[in-house]
Amino acid sequence: MAAVTEAPITRSSAPGETEQAFAIFQQPWWLEAVAPGHWGEVTCEHEGRVVARLPYVVRGRPRMRMLTQSSLTQTLGPWVEPSSAKPARALSREHELLADLEARLPSAWAFSQQFAPAMLNALPFHWAGYRLELRYTYRLDRLSSTDALWSGLRDSVRREIRKARRRVEVVDDLGVDRFHHVLSRTYARQQIPTPHSFVELERLEAACAPRGAGAMLFARDEAGRIHAVAWAVWDKHAAYYLLAGADPHLRNSGASSLLAWEALTRAREHTGVFDFHGSMLRPVERFFRAFGARQTPYLSVTRMTAPFRVALAARSGLRRMASRS
């Protein structure tokens, strides 16, 4: 990744069964919803079929282009067609395909993605000078019966759910505008700008809804007040706890736990895996773990050119100066 060139964004058609093998965050329709006109991909083909693929989102000005992923996407990274060869040969083939994908990436000043838990092999990126950092999400890998899921909950979570059921009902037809309103209040309580605009959520919901790819949930009381919201998305591979929030004045009703439970029980009708969408923050980690989810590693893969590091440091310095003035 040296000087930036104006390489065009390329997309593979990747039709049929191959496209169905991609996780939801890697799907072309998802990428177009979260980064319309600002995503691309590199692919490797064998005998006319795609055998490896690495999509990316393009950010920044042309002269400081960065290949990354959307904030509405937990993980992205490469997909490699499974091999039936012996383990040593299969891994060798995977190394070759990953190295080929990396070499095909368009020139950019930086690369930053989180690879899915299914892709823990990033050695070819490490050999090419990328930095690998371990992160964790929390997953339930067997969405069996609701009784089994219920027994796996921490006692405090079960109490919260029972309390919430006496105070609110779960509905899923109140609209993106009300979802975004509650989500924004959640970030405002933490004095953090809302990272997702109403337009972004509306566009993604419009892509998910006709595909039956998730549920936007609301916990509403008899007075019509929304206590909490949650949005889970899914495909045949896994479900993801995409976004959640709560009204700062109604946070003690247990509604957040109830919505997480509702998302779980709905997801099991579509897939066998539930991913709580990861967090390295201690309070969030504690909440996810209380649902019986298993700690699951995934990789953060980054590379920055020297000029990009200098520009990043200069920008940070200017912000510090501005905050002191």
Token pair of 259 as six digits: 């919505």
Identify the residue with better confidence: 127 or 173. Answer: 127
The reply to whether 122 and 192 lie within a common domain is no
Say if residue 2's pLDDT is above 60: no
Band (pLDDT 50/70/90 cuts) for residue 12 is: very low
The reply to whether 197 and 88 lie within a common domain is no
Q: Are 276 and 267 in contact (CB under 8 A)?
A: no
The reply to whether 168 and 239 lie within a common domain is yes
Band (pLDDT 50/70/90 cuts) for residue 19 is: confident
Please state the φ and ψ torsions of residue 273, each to the nearest 5 degrees.
-130, 135
Range in 23-32, 145-154, 208-217, 307-316 with the lowest mean pLDDT: 307-316
The reply to whether 259 and 188 lie within a common domain is yes
Residue 161: what residue type? I
With H, G, I as helix, E, B as strand and everything else as coil, classify residue 143: coil
Say if residue 168's pLDDT is above 70: yes
What is the DSSP code (8-state) at residue 237? S
| pTM score of the predicted model | 0.88
The reply to whether 247 and 165 lie within a common domain is yes
| Residues near 229 by beta carbon (within 8 Å), at least 6 away in sequence | 178, 179, 182, 183, 216, 217, 218, 219, 243, 244, 245, 246, 259
pLDDT digits (tens, 9 = 90+) for 102-143: 999 999 999 999 999 999 999 999 999 999 999 999 999 988
Please state, in angstroms and rounded to a whole number, the distance separating the CA atoms of residues 91 and 71: 31
The reply to whether 77 and 196 lie within a common domain is no
Say if residue 192's pLDDT is above 90: no
User: Is residue 62 a part of any domain in this protein?
Assistant: yes
The reply to whether 186 and 258 lie within a common domain is yes
User: Is residue 194 a part of any domain in this protein?
Assistant: yes
Domain end position, chosen among 272, 288, 314 = 272
| Residues near 140 by beta carbon (within 8 Å), at least 6 away in sequence | 149, 152, 264, 273, 274, 291, 292, 293, 294
Q: What is the CA radius of gyration of the chain?
A: 21
User: Is residue 5 a part of any domain in this protein?
Assistant: no
Is residue 73 exposed (0-12), middle (13-18) or buried (19+ Cβ within 10 Å)? buried
The reply to whether 146 and 258 lie within a common domain is yes
User: Is residue 10 a part of any domain in this protein?
Assistant: no
Alpha helices in the chain (DSSP H): 16-20, 28-34, 87-104, 123-127, 146-151, 155-165, 176-189, 198-208, 255-267, 282-289, 306-324
The reply to whether 155 and 131 lie within a common domain is no
DSSP of 183-221, one letter per residue? HHHHHHHTT---SS-HHHHHHHHHHHGGGT-EEEEEEE-
User: Is residue 191 a part of any domain in this protein?
Assistant: yes
The reply to whether 53 and 92 lie within a common domain is yes
Range in 1-10, 37-46, 105-114 with the lowest mean pLDDT: 1-10
The reply to whether 26 and 45 lie within a common domain is yes
pLDDT digits (tens, 9 = 90+) for 260-293: 999 999 999 999 999 998 777 788 888 899 999 9
pLDDT of residue 264: 95
User: Is residue 256 a part of any domain in this protein?
Assistant: yes
Structural domain harbouring 243? 142-272
| Total of domains in the chain | 2
Q: Measured in Å, how far apart are the chain's first and last C-alpha atoms?
A: 37
Q: Are 203 and 249 in contact (CB under 8 A)?
A: no
Average pLDDT, the chain: 89
Say if residue 10's pLDDT is above 60: no
The reply to whether 221 and 307 lie within a common domain is no
Q: Residues in the chain, how many?
A: 325
Question: Residue 117 maps to which CATH number?
Answer: 3.40.630.30
Give the pLDDT mean for 229-250: 95
| Residues near 71 by beta carbon (within 8 Å), at least 6 away in sequence | 195, 196
User: Is residue 278 a part of any domain in this protein?
Assistant: no
User: Is residue 293 a part of any domain in this protein?
Assistant: no
